[in-house]
Amino acid sequence: MCSIGEDDFGDEGGMHAMLPSSVESQAVTTAGDCTKCSQPAEELYKLNFRQPECRACFLNYARHKFRAALGASKALPRGAEVLLLIDGTPESLVLLDMLHYAQTQNTFKRLHCNVRVLYIDAGSSLSKRDPLPALRDCQRRYTPFEFHVVHSNATPDSVQLLDNYIAIAEPKQLEKHRNLTAHQDYAQQQRKRLMGAVAAQLRCSHIFESSICSTLATQLLSSIALGRGGSVALDVALFDDRLPAQVKLLRPLKDLNAQEVQLYVKAQQLQAFPTINELDKDSASLQNLTKSFVDNLQLNYASTVSTIFRTGDKIAAKRCLNVEVDAKCALCQSDLEEETSDTLLAIEYSRSVSEAGAALQQRQSIEQLEKCARERLLTSRDLCHACSNIKTELGIALT
């Protein structure tokens, strides 16, 4: 017999719509006894699907996720030089606080690495929401970490210590780009290249990025939609080795969710300083719409976001089997296809037909259109499909 209950269907046989789950939001309850250590506490921290805990037990739980991500993978060697990227978001400050705590433990529990902090200035230091004072407060709180700043449009060798940094006005370039989706994708790839180059400049072998579960779920869906399916596994993995100068990118907060981050911020009294980024406004780009979609899922169907993220964990990175070729994309450093893909050829063929429009005559044979499509692929042979789209949409040279 069918195991589906009759209540799952309407009177007309149609299926009822899925209702949003009634999952509790993040909450700090009043005084009581901790269910973990049984000690009385002035505040109890209640996570979804967990019993209320005192502040110390909650912090131990959250910090264990951070240490477990690094310990299970063994991706961070002892004595490594680490560059921690912060951007003023709660996630980045949580990572900074956790890393500083791990550095101040006794010899047995200490995370043995040397840490520098990097902030990439996208021009917000000249706005009313100047992040430099907040950065200086962080520098005083998290001594002895060195804080460095570099402008997003500057060269890697222009990185400076926070105490010596002077903001420089840069001309706005957003108006030059008509496609916000391509511009956001290009800005993200350029940011990664700058991170890797600055890390090499500071002689750091590893970079810590503060992406959490919901952020990586958004990245997974966006990468697939942008045509980066071949490299999507590295976009959401703990370990990413596509940066220049053999710098490794790590995402140690990948197992934390937004609720845990917000409660950690409250427990440690962290002050986020969101900066102005013109590319993150509520504009109709694929990345912004995907983020809005995932945020709505996180609000109403939190388990679905976790499912998306865990699916990305199961995807294996596609590697080039021919060691002699080992071709890389000139922009994102992802592996390129060894042979011409039939799918990409069909896309370029369709694009050729669309651009021909009314000028397309019957005398233009299928062979001619296919030849034109192959020529398009050859002109962008050093770029992956997604980066080739950036080049086409923005009309700029990618090197």
Does residue 376 share a domain with residue 287? no
pLDDT of residue 279 exceeding 80, the answer is no
Domain extent at residue 154: 56-313
| Residues written for the chain | 399
Does residue 371 share a domain with residue 261? no
Whether 36 is in a domain gets the answer no
State yes or no: cis peptide before 144, omega within 30 of 0.
yes
Q: What is the mean pLDDT of residues 47-52?
A: 86
Say how many domains are in the chain.
2
**What digits encode the pLDDT tens for the residues 186-240?**
999 999 999 999 999 999 999 999 999 999 999 999 999 998 988 899 999 999 9
Does residue 264 share a domain with residue 347? no
Does residue 275 share a domain with residue 202? yes
The mean predicted confidence, pLDDT, of the chain is: 82
**What digits encode the pLDDT tens for the residues 282-309?**
567 899 999 999 999 888 887 888 889 8
pLDDT of residue 3 exceeding 50, the answer is no
**What digits encode the pLDDT tens for the residues 388-397?**
889 888 887 7
- Between 21 and 341, the more confident residue is 341
CATH code, domain with 296: 3.40.50.620
pLDDT of residue 161 exceeding 90, the answer is yes
Of 178-182, 270-274, 344-348, least confident by mean pLDDT is: 344-348
Whether 279 is in a domain gets the answer yes
Does residue 290 share a domain with residue 158? yes
Whether 49 is in a domain gets the answer no
Q: What is the mean pLDDT of residues 95-118?
A: 90
Q: What's the pLDDT at 388?
A: 86
Whether 363 is in a domain gets the answer yes
Does residue 71 share a domain with residue 189? yes
Q: Give a three-class secondary structure readout of the chain.
A: CCCCCHHHECCCCCECCCCCCCCCCCEEECCEECCCCCCEECCEEECCCCCCECHHHHHHHHHHHHHHHHHHHCCCCCCEEEEEEECCCHHHHHHHHHHHHHHCCCCCCCCCEEEEEEEEECCHHHCCCCCHHHHHHHHHHCCCCEEEEEECCCCHHHCEEHHHCCCCCCCCCHHHCCCHHHHHHHHHHHHHHHHHHHHHHCCCCEEECCCCHHHHHHHHHHHHHHCCHHHHHHHHCCEECCCHHHCEEECCCCCCCHHHHHHHHHHHCCCCCCCCCHHHCCCCCHHHHHHHHHHHHHHHCHHHHHHHHHHHHCCCCCCCCCCCCCCECCCCCCECCCCCCHHHHHHHHHHHHHHHHHHCCCCCCHHHHHHHHHHHHHHCCCCCHHHHHHHHHHCCCCC
Whether 100 is in a domain gets the answer yes
Does residue 354 share a domain with residue 221? no
Q: What is the mean pLDDT of residues 351-367?
A: 61
- Between 349 and 301, the more confident residue is 301
Whether 33 is in a domain gets the answer no
Does residue 353 share a domain with residue 279? no
- Between 364 and 45, the more confident residue is 45
Q: What's the pLDDT at 109?
A: 79
- pTM, full prediction: 0.85
Does residue 367 share a domain with residue 243? no
Does residue 366 share a domain with residue 236? no
**What digits encode the pLDDT tens for the residues 307-326?**
898 888 888 777 665 544 56
Does residue 305 share a domain with residue 263? yes
Q: What's the pLDDT at 4?
A: 44
pLDDT band at 153 (very low <50, low <70, confident <90, very high): confident
Whether 23 is in a domain gets the answer no
pLDDT of residue 15 exceeding 70, the answer is no
Nearest to 350 by CA among 370, 375, 377: 370
Place of tokens 């992406």: 211
Q: What is the mean pLDDT of residues 100-129?
A: 83
Does residue 362 share a domain with residue 248? no
Q: What percent of the chain has pLDDT over 90?
A: 44
Whether 10 is in a domain gets the answer no
